[in-house]
Copies of this chain bind each other. A is one copy, B any other.
């Protein structure tokens, strides 16, 4: 199991770079070196964050990306939910009816609690924390 996939990894580094840059926009070309991933791939990732409202984008010459919110308002959980999709609960939690005694199931409750606390941890880390 991988907690964070590469997209989240790259995105976090790129966003930290942007937060530090103190410029209206930063182009992918300027970031690729520091982030350590090819330009087209990083671009696709940042486009997804743009669609999700986490980044602003300016097209055309001199354009690029910028944080759409203050760094302290962009959370690791935001990146995860956009780039890895929502945290899927364990199957019996998700698809009810998989086993009987669904409501009383202790595994379900334990796992649900663990996932809630994991999400809270991902929520508690912001881009500002990483600068």
Question: A residues bordering B, Cβ < 8 Å?
Answer: 1-6, 8-9, 12-13, 16, 34-36, 76, 80, 84-85, 87-92, 98-99, 106-107, 110-111, 114-115, 117-118, 121-122, 125, 129-131
- Other contacts beyond A1-B1, A114-B125: 11, CB < 8 A: A1-B3, A2-B90, A3-B88, A3-B89, A3-B90, A3-B111, A3-B118, A4-B90, A106-B129, A110-B125, A117-B121
Cα separation A131 to B101 with both chains bound (whole Å): 12
Counted per complex, copies of this chain come to 2
List chain B residues, Cβ under 8 A from A121: 114, 117-118
Q: Check A114 against B118 for contact (C-beta < 8 Å).
A: yes
Q: Check A36 against B99 for contact (C-beta < 8 Å).
A: yes
Q: A87 with B12: in contact, given A36-B99, A121-B114, A125-B110 (CB under 8 Å)?
A: no
Q: A106 with B118: in contact, given A4-B111, A13-B99, A99-B35 (CB under 8 Å)?
A: no
Cα separation A4 to B115 with both chains bound (whole Å): 10
A-B contact pairs, 27 of them (CB 8 A): A1-B2, A1-B3, A1-B84, A1-B88, A2-B88, A2-B90, A3-B111, A3-B114, A3-B115, A3-B118, A8-B90, A9-B91, A9-B107, A13-B107, A16-B107, A35-B99, A76-B110, A106-B129, A106-B131, A107-B130, A110-B129, A110-B130, A114-B121, A114-B122, A117-B121, A118-B118, A118-B121
